[in-house]
Each structure stands twice: as C-alpha cells, then as structure tokens.
Chains A and B, each alone.
Chain A
Amino acid sequence: MSDDGTPVLSLEDVEVHFEDKPGLLEFGDETEVVRAVDGVSIDVMENDVVTLVGESGCGKTTLGKTAIGLQRPTGGSVKYRGHDIWDIRDGNSDADITWRDVRTSLQIIHQDPGSSLNPNRRIQTILAEPLKQVRPDLGRTEKRERILSLLERVGMNPAPDFADRYPHQLSGGEQQRVALSRALLMNPDVILADEAISAVDVSLRVEMMDLMLELQAEFDTSFIFISHDLSNARYFTAHADGQIGVMYLGELAEIGPAEEIVNSPKHPYTNVLRWATPDLSLQQTGEIPMRKIDVPDPVDPPSGCRFHTRCPEAREACQTEHPPTYSDDRHHVACFRENEDHDYWESPKLTD
C-alpha cells in the first residue's frame, strides 16, 4: 500500500486494566485491578521497527498484544491504517477493511516457538495452513514450492528434509525460523516478535535478528520487537532506524531513536537498564543505581511518578505529581528533570 504518511498502526492513549478476582484467602470481595498498560501512545509506520524494553511484568507483552488486536484495550484506541480496529470488529466502521483483514495483517511470533507449533503436524502442514487462508487459489505443488523456497530463505537446508520433520525434530533456533516463516506467509504488515530470540543461545541471537531484518526489507513488514535486553534492542532497532520505547509499570518512560536511547538516555530508569546491560569494558559497574531491587505491585502502582519508589533521582515532588511527557523532536521523556523550571528541583531528595 502507498506510503501516505498514515501509520500502519496507531495507538492513542491506550489503557489495559485487568480485573483480578481476589484469592480465596483474601478478605472482602472487591476485585483488584491490575493496571497493565496506562496512557500509551505509539505509531508504527511502514517498514518500521518499534522495540519495547523493560523488566518482566512491566506490560510489554500486553501492550504488544493490544497493538495487534489480540487484546482489547479498556481505554484509548488502536487504529489500523487510520481505522479503529475495535469499531471494525464490532461492525461500527465504514472502512472497507474486515476484521479478518486486520487479523491477517497483524501477526505474532512467541518467545517459546515449541509450544506454538502443533507437535503432531509436519512443518510442511504447519506452513500450508496460512497459505490456504491467504492464497486459496494455489494448488498443491505451488504451495509446496512456496514453502520450500521460504524454508531455504530462512536458512533451513535441505528444505525438503526440514519440511517433512515434526517440530520436536528441530532445534530451538530452527523452530523459531518456522514460526517466523509461518507469520510471513500471511503477508502481514506488522509482526509482533515477543522475546522471540530470548530462548536461543546468546551466540545465535545476532543471526536470528539479521534474518528478521533481511526479511523485513524483503517482505515489507514492520516489527514490534519485545526484549528485556537493551543491547539486542539496540542491534535490532538501530539497523532498521526504528524507535526504542522504555516501559515502566505499564507506562512509557521514554521513547526515541535507538542510538539516542542507548547513548544518551534521559530517563533515570533507562539509565538503570543501561547499567544492567553487560558490556565488555570491564569497568566495575558498582552499586545498583536504584533504591530498591523489586518492582512494585501493578495492582497498586506508586502515586505520582510510578518510578519514584526506586528512582535514584527521586524528590518529594515525584511522589505527588505525575510527570508529563517532554518532547524534543523524536525523543519523548516522562520525567520532571527535563523541565529546568519545575518545582522538582526545589523539593528535597527521597532517600529511604
């Protein structure tokens, strides 16, 4: 489709709250609300890469799934090429796009490829499935040819041999290639890759990312890439000239071009992630740059700036007021330290 500057996906002020029924041993019958995602806005353009980083439980997966229509937001909107996907789903849209088109265009590959591939089906059959959906016109031989050439393309040679295997006869890296192939056969606009390389050995991750980058260019897809590892995020995102979004307890703390996030982080939390990322400079990394190691409960996130209970720069002002987003070109940061005139600078440091 034409590149008229309309984002492929546009998330506006997205909120996802889950109701958590109280456990048997808990008192009262008030349901607890897990605030998985709050007030997030992100655009994904054609051939774009948007990477989400952050600790486990910070809402990366929920946000990713919401972006591709696998999770309905409890607030805000998700638009596919300018049309609200949940209006399409509910039949309230005048767009000539069906819910099926939306679902086909937005694909996912999971962290654990083994569990997403049917163990009783040969690779050939697993890959024929999506082709049947998007190209019902193809005959058997044509389908087989397509599948073989794609397997070759993702480095699984000899392809006929791999096509006849079952998932358990493949290594983790090979299973991930099959999952990627299956997603690509749908001809999607966006693929959500949720920790898709975390399960493979460190030494093979670059290879997998390179493959995804090459295919991105070839197949004209965008990626939403989720990782808890800033160096992988940088590698993948910078190669595609994309953006890295840093999530903390359901919110975007900072988002911007990959090299800027990595080389000149502005949010104190991004700095913490940088500290956590091993490098080979062997400098003593010293103390953990945070006041607490464990993430607070998302059921009851801290008031004001959600990071204030751990932030090394936190001051009293951070306890009460929620920081707005300060923007500088493509770089957006939610921290009072971006505003020279804020009361923050006058208020006493938090030390506990």
Chain B
Amino acid sequence: MAIEEVDAGSELDERSIVDPAIEIRNAKVTYDEGESYVLDDVSIDLDRNEVLGVVGESGSGKSMFASSLLDSVPDPGVLTGRITYHPRDGEPIEVLDLSKEELRELRWEEISMVFQGAMSSFNPVLKVRTHFEETLEAHDANVAEGMDFARELLSDLYLDPDRVLDAYPHELSGGMTQRALIALSMVLNPEVLVMDEPTAALDLLMQRSILQLLEDLQAKYDISLVFITHDLPLIAALADRMAIMYAFRFVEVAPTQDLVANAAHPYTRMLLNSTPNLDAPLAEMKPIEGQSPAPINLPSGCAFHPRCPLAEEQCMQSEPDYHDVSDRQGARCFRWEAAQAQILLNYEDMLEDRGTSGGDADE
C-alpha cells in the first residue's frame, strides 16, 4: 500500500519536474523504532531554481523535513528513504550514503541551511567577520575572494559590509543579524538554500523586507530555495510552489497560484480561511477547530478526519492517496472535489476581481 501511495505522489513530480535539484523519496523519521513517525513517507522534488514553500502548523513535521535534506535529524531519530542531490554539473549524490566528512562538505557548499532560532547560531564572543572567515577556511575556500563575495552579499542585503563585519553579534538588531546570517549561509555559493522559519522572531515589516531581498538574491545567484513557515500568506508572494504539511505528511502540493485560487484539500482551504488578511471581508475568518495530532495516537484513515467537515466513513477506514487535481496539483483527499465546491474561500470575490482592480490603494 505504501508503495502505491508514494508512486502516486512522486509521479506528479516526475511528470512535471524535469530538472530536480533534490529528489526526496519515501523519507521517514522515527524516534521509537517505527512505532510512530514524525515524518511519514514524504516524497517530493525540489525543482532547480524554484522557491518551494513548506507550510504547516507547529509540530507538523516541518523541521524534520528540513533536517532530513542533509541527513541531520536530531539524535536518536532514524531517517530512511532516499534523498538524491543533483549538482548542476556532475553525478547525482545519494545523501543518505555519504560519510560524515562528505556530508560536512555538501553542507554549505551545495545545500545550505538557516535554522529555526538561528539568531543564536552566531557565537557572541566572535566578530561577524570571524564567522565568515572560519566558514571559508573550514571548506578550504580562498578567504580573500570569499570575503569579497561576503561583502557583495551583505550589500545585496542592504547592510553596510564593513560595519557589520566589524561588529559583534549583539551589536546588530534582530533584522541585521538575520540578514548577516543569510549572507553567511550563502558565502560558499550553494545550489540550494533551506530556511526553517528564518524570520519568525522579527516584526512583519522586517520579515517582508527580507523576503523581498531573498527574491532578488534567488534570481541573482540562481539558487533553489526551500522556505519553511507556519504563515501561508507570508510566503505566497515569494513561493513558486507550496507543499502543505499536516500530521507529518504533505497533504497538498501545488503551484502557489493554483493553491490560493483552487486549493483542493479541506485542510488547505480551512487554513486559507483561518488567516486574517487585509482584503477579506471581516466576518468570514474562521479558525480551524480542534488540534493537530501528535505522532502517537494518529487518527485512523485520513489523519485530518477528526477536524474535517467533509469526513465520511471511508475517511476513517483508509488513508487517501494523492489525487491529481491537475498536472501540477495533487491532494491527499478522497473528496477534494466536494471540498472545492463546499468550503468556500472567504476571499473568493476578490479573486474574481483580480486583473481588473489593481494593487495598492495608494494614489
């Protein structure tokens, strides 16, 4: 059964993604020898040069997904499955077969990460400059050239390179620290950048500004970006594609436009309706009742059924496969057509107007 299911999911990607930077197949993480999974049979491709948004509630397994990409799930977790990294030139690399040393090289040079709570990843007693130099040295890179590139990255991020490099981490504001860290993660010119809630501790204006800068950086340096967050609207303007995580799996994957206009999974539709935004009518924002499940005590059948208004007998009995909504959109739900028809999006009127009425209320 598991095989069939996964095939359905990855088939979608295999058809639509020609040049993946990373292929993830059947990735599973367990902490209790397979009694329960905190990442459960996840398959997806990261397209080269795409921005993939991974969205889910707290505890849904987002960080497990991120750390799986570099075979670095926290001990004593066990990761199985297949993670294949495709360098731009050269042979594909099986990440889970690498030695510790090979992994260390892959990290930062090819796949770089900015983790949740990353502010603390700067050592408070070292100047920012030292962090850059040590990283370059650890990867046998030319330090002088690397520091020139660091300066360029810092300027790209609207920072004054000399001031920032000469500062100690505590002398920088939260937003500056976060941008310096992004520059550091890119200093070896990686192919893939994975960011796990990198901006959650910052105010919205700084978050938005950083996303805008990331968009520019992504285009300038041709990187593939995985951006992980619980805030769907926040990355809607940045992500090319989104993968929605619920109870340790992806329940829906789709290009962002399709997801926002035609989400097919009830959870996605309810998530879209639960978030206040500036344009939706006030009365119609609805929270999702109930709580997302813990890895033990996962509900039978579709894990969303206790919270799903469309749940039927079959949802409690068996687990839904991916259903193709289109060539590039899939949802793990038996009743996705009913979901589209019956769970109305509270900004639907606004979608219809799109194209005629434009952007900001400005001027």
Interface residues of A (CB under 8 A from B): 55-57, 171, 201-207, 209-210, 228-232, 234-235, 238-239, 262-265, 271-285, 287-288, 290, 292-295
Q: Mark B87-122, 1 if CB is under 8 A from A, else 0.
A: 000000000000000000000000000000000000
Task: Given A203-B275, A206-B274, A230-B278, answer yes or no on A282-B158 (Cβ-Cβ < 8 Å).
Answer: no
Report yes or no: B361 in contact with A282, Cβ–Cβ below 8 A: no
Indicate whether B136 reaches chain A with its CB closer than 8 angstroms.
no
Residues of B within 8 A of A235 (CB): 276, 282, 285
A56-B174, A277-B204 given as contacts; is B361 within 8 A of A263 (CB)?
A: yes
CB of B300 within 8 Å of the partner chain: no
B299 within 8 A of A: no
Can you spell out 19 A-B residue pairs with CB atoms less than 8 angstroms apart?
A202-B275, A203-B230, A205-B275, A206-B285, A206-B287, A228-B205, A231-B275, A235-B282, A274-B360, A277-B277, A278-B208, A279-B279, A280-B233, A281-B359, A285-B208, A288-B208, A288-B209, A288-B212, A294-B173
Contacting residues, chain A, for B173 (C-beta < 8 A)? 57, 294-295
Determine how close the nearest CB of chain B comes to the CB of A295; give it in whole angstroms: 8
CB of B237 closer than 8 Å to a CB of A = yes
Complex interface: chain A residues within 8 A of B205 (CB)? 55, 228, 272-273, 276
Given contacts A201-B57, A207-B287, contact A276 B208 (CB under 8 A): yes
Whether the Cβ atoms of A55 and B237 lie closer than 8 Å is no
* B236 x A283 contact (CB < 8 A): no
Max count, chain A CB within 10 A of own CB: residue among B174, B206, B277, B282: B277
Contact status A278-B175, CB under 8 Å = no
Q: Smallest distance from the beta carbon of A312 to chain B beta carbons, Å?
A: 10
Q: How far is the CA of A287 from the CA of B202 in the complex (A)?
A: 19
Contact A206 B278, CB 8 Å, known A276-B208, A282-B237:
no
Q: Which of B203, B234, B362 contacts A278 (CB 8 A)?
A: B234
Q: Which residue of A lies closest to B286 (CB)?
A: A206
Interface pairs A-B: 8 shortest CB-CB: A207-B287, A278-B233, A276-B208, A228-B203, A235-B276, A276-B205, A56-B203, A231-B276
Q: Does B360 contact A275, Cβ atoms closer than 8 Å?
A: yes
Given A209-B276, A280-B279, 15 more contacts at CB 8 Å?
A55-B205, A55-B206, A57-B173, A203-B275, A230-B204, A231-B233, A235-B282, A238-B282, A271-B360, A276-B204, A278-B234, A279-B233, A281-B354, A290-B209, A294-B176
Query: Is B271 interfacial (CB-CB < 8 Å)?
Result: yes
Residues in B171-190 with C-beta less than 8 Å from chain A: 173-176
Q: Provided the pairs A201-B230, A264-B361 are in contact, do residues A280 and B272 lie with their beta carbons within 8 angstroms? A: yes
User: Would you call B288 an interface residue if the criterion is a C-beta within 8 Å of the partner chain's C-beta atoms?
Assistant: yes
Smallest beta-carbon distance A209→chain B, Å:
8
Q: Which residue of A lies closest to B288 (CB)?
A: A203
Pick the most buried of A57, A171, A238, A281: most chain B CB atoms within 10 A of its CB: A281
Considering the chains assembled together, what is the distance between the CA atoms of A137 and B264 in angstroms? Answer: 57
Known contacts A231-B276, A294-B175; A287 and B212 CB within 8 A of each other: yes
Least Cβ–Cβ distance between A307 and chain B, in angstroms: 13
Using an 8 Å CB-CB cutoff, how does the interface string of B220-236 with A read, 1 for contact, 0 for none? Answer: 00000000001111111
Chain B residues contacting A230 (CB-CB under 8 Å) are 204, 278
- Residue B84 lies at the interface, judged by CB distance under 8 Å to chain A: no
B231→A280 contact, CB < 8 A: no
For B203, B206, B274, which residue has the most chain A Cβ atoms within 10 angstroms? B203
A293 touches B209 (CB 8 A): yes
Q: How far is the CA of A16 from the CA of B329 in the complex (A)?
A: 54
Assess whether B256 is in contact with A282, with CB atoms less than 8 Å apart: yes
Contact A202 B208 (CB under 8 A): no
Chain A residues near B360 (CB, 8 Å)? 271, 274-275
- A281 touching B282 in the complex, CB below 8 Å, given contacts A55-B203, A201-B230, A203-B274: no
Residue ID in chain A nearest B171 by CB atoms: A23
- B260, A203: Cβ atoms under 8 Å? no
Residues of A within 8 A of B208 (CB): 275-278, 285, 288
Residue of A nearest to B357 (CB): A281
- In the complex the two chains form, what is the Cα distance from A235 to B287 in whole Å? 13
Are A293 and B285 closer than 8 Å at their CB atoms?
A: no
Give Cα A300–Cα B217 distance, bound, in whole angstroms. Answer: 32
Complex interface: chain B residues within 8 A of A232 (CB): 276
Residue of A nearest to B210 (CB): A293
Q: Does B358 contact A (CB under 8 A)?
A: yes
B58 proximal to A (CB < 8 A): yes
Q: Are B232 and A56 in contact (CB under 8 A)?
A: no
Kindly identify which residue among A203, A205, A265, A292 contacts B158, using a CB–CB cutoff of 8 Å. Answer: A292
Complexed CA–CA distance, A56 and B233 (Å): 21
Task: Let me know if A231 and B277 touch, CB within 8 A.
Answer: yes
Residue B31 at the chain A interface, CB threshold 8 Å? no
- What is the distance, in angstroms, from A1's C-beta to the closest C-beta of chain B? 30
Q: Quote the shortest CB–CB distance from B304 to chain A (angstroms).
A: 13
Instruction: Decide if A210 touches B287 in the complex (CB within 8 Å).
Output: yes
Q: How far is the CB of B171 from chain A (nearest CB, A)?
A: 10
* A184 shortest CB reach to chain B, Å: 20
Contact indicator A271/B362 (Cβ below 8 Å): yes
CB distance from B325 to the nearest CB of A (A): 18
> Within the assembled complex, what's the spacing in Å between the Cα atoms of A254 and B347?
28
Interface residues of B in 115-159 (CB under 8 A from A): 158
User: Which residues of the partner chain B approach A210 to less than 8 Å between Cβ atoms?
Assistant: 287
User: B175 touches which one: A276, A282, A293 (CB < 8 A)?
Assistant: A293
Decide if B282 touches A203 in the complex (CB within 8 Å).
no
Shortest Cβ distance from B275 into chain A, in angstroms? 6
Residue of B nearest to A277 (CB): B278
* Complex Cα spacing A273 to B361, Å: 13
Render B331-358 as a binary contact track against A, CB cut-off 8 A, 1 for contact: 0000000000000000100100010001
Docked CA distance A292–B209 (Å) = 10
Bound-state CA distance A272–B286 (Å) is: 27
In whole angstroms, how far apart are the Cα atoms of A203 and B245 in the complex? 13
